[in-house]
Chains A and B, each alone.
Chain A
């Protein structure tokens, strides 16, 4: 039996056809690059998403600080991660790339600032 997936690793959005091989592995076709295979395996076994959000800053008239995870994050735990990000208030100035949450929820993935402010 084969399954249709759309690889969302990049904006190409390749349409993947994923089948089970006799040895239990997966056969993937339709991918334009090897990352499509990795995506299909992950999506079926351990779905992850890059999370982008904003957190508060200490100064009232400054805009919100945009942040993102440094790698795709386990999808099941995204609500928990967002709650942790929303609880943060950063003191300005902050540089792009500064770690806002290190080893978020013990996943080994950091949350970093994506803009310099202040």
Chain B
């Protein structure tokens, strides 16, 4: 077994992992990235569509271009990337943290370090998670798997497609499948509004005249060996209108029904989870309850823009570097999701520092108002022209905003939307 030592080890070499590692390296600390796949970049490598990097590079890039620009930066530093290497186990019981990794090239590696940054991304929900009844024929794929097959391996999974769920990956795949010569017959969404970005509804569905069935449930997948169709039932006021059910013939079903942060490893080391995000609960410095273990990117909460992933990951990397140098958070104040807010991340702010909070709303609304309150007193109010659950909202809170909290004995910050 090969033994290695670094100040910090980053698990996952996607956008989040690379951005966090660059901060650690920039702070003069030794750092390794461990990545399961054969190359850095993570999910970006299969996202060949454009729409990445508008904030980061002020340009619209495709996923692979965005990833490669970060790879180029990583290559110009002292960061050691271990690709094709999977972290199997972590031991935090001793003074140093130990990571047990496996790779075809290096065999078993044991890395010891003082800080760990979790950047494992997320995985897709599948048919089992949403319980669509019916037989188990071939031809049912998650949209992300189909994306990988089509965009990287050049394998087209079917000809007549129905997409279940209107998340961005499903919408992007509706256009991709149309562009590779398939017929996309429908996108079926259980909610009364689409869960993907509006721009994707326009350029991935409208452009191809693909019908979007909102408030419709996929009630059956039919077919013996291969998918032959899906049965779709409208929902009215929450009730299934079984007499109005209809079937669309197809040979392939793509599921785009959400993403879940990939936290098997985190749970194994005793990291506490936030049930609203399915990611770790973290403090204002993105550190989990396990001292010296930080989290960022999709493993912390699912992001829709890589630019925000990178922004958050830089903060995590910088906080890990400060922690390694002995600095600790000063005045931690709890942040609570108020009315119409599904979650806030992180769940704490430092009342004496600049904070960035990400949140998701529960509602679709034009001309909404976001209010930040400390002990029920409004300290900040922001107008939003349009909000919806699929578009993440960010709020900056500085020491000035939080002065009221700093002076109070048991302060709570609450963020609400109306």
B-contacting residues of A (Cβ < 8 Å)?
A: 6-8, 10-11, 13-15, 30, 49-54, 56, 63-64, 66, 68, 75, 78, 82, 96, 114-116
Contacts and interface: CB of A to CB of B under 8 A. Distances in A.
B50 A68 contact: yes
Contacts of B197: 11, 13
Contact of A64 (B49, B152, B304): B152
Given A50-B50, A54-B48, A115-B65, A66 B203 contact: no
B153 interface: yes
Interface residues of B, number: 31
Contacts of A10: 51, 54, 60, 199
Contacts of A66: 48, 62, 64, 151
Most B CB within 10 A of own CB, among A11, A53, A64, A75: A11
B51 A11 contact: yes
Nearest to B66: A114
B199 A52 contact: no
Interface string B353-386: 0000000000000100000000000000000011
Mostly, the A contact residues are loop
B209 to A, nearest CB: 13
A56 B154 contact: yes
Interface string B192-204: 0000011101110
A13 B198 contact: yes
Nearest to A116: B68
Contacts of A7: 199
26 contacts: A6-B201, A8-B199, A8-B203, A10-B54, A10-B60, A11-B51, A11-B199, A11-B304, A13-B197, A13-B198, A13-B199, A13-B391, A52-B50, A52-B62, A53-B48, A54-B48, A54-B150, A63-B152, A63-B153, A64-B152, A64-B153, A64-B154, A66-B62, A115-B64, A115-B65, A115-B68
Interface of B: 45, 48-51, 54, 60-62, 64-65, 68, 150-154, 179, 197-199, 201-203, 207, 304-305, 366, 385-386, 391
Most B CB within 10 A of own CB, among A8, A50, A63, A78: A8
A49 B203 contact: yes
Contacts of A50: 50, 60
Contacts of B202: 6, 8, 13
Given A13-B202, A14-B385, A64-B151, 7 more contacts: A10-B54, A11-B197, A49-B207, A53-B48, A54-B150, A114-B61, A115-B68
A115 B40 CA distance: 12
The 10 closest A-B pairs by CB, nearest first: A66-B48, A115-B64, A13-B198, A8-B199, A114-B62, A64-B154, A13-B199, A63-B152, A114-B65, A52-B49
Contacts of B201: 6
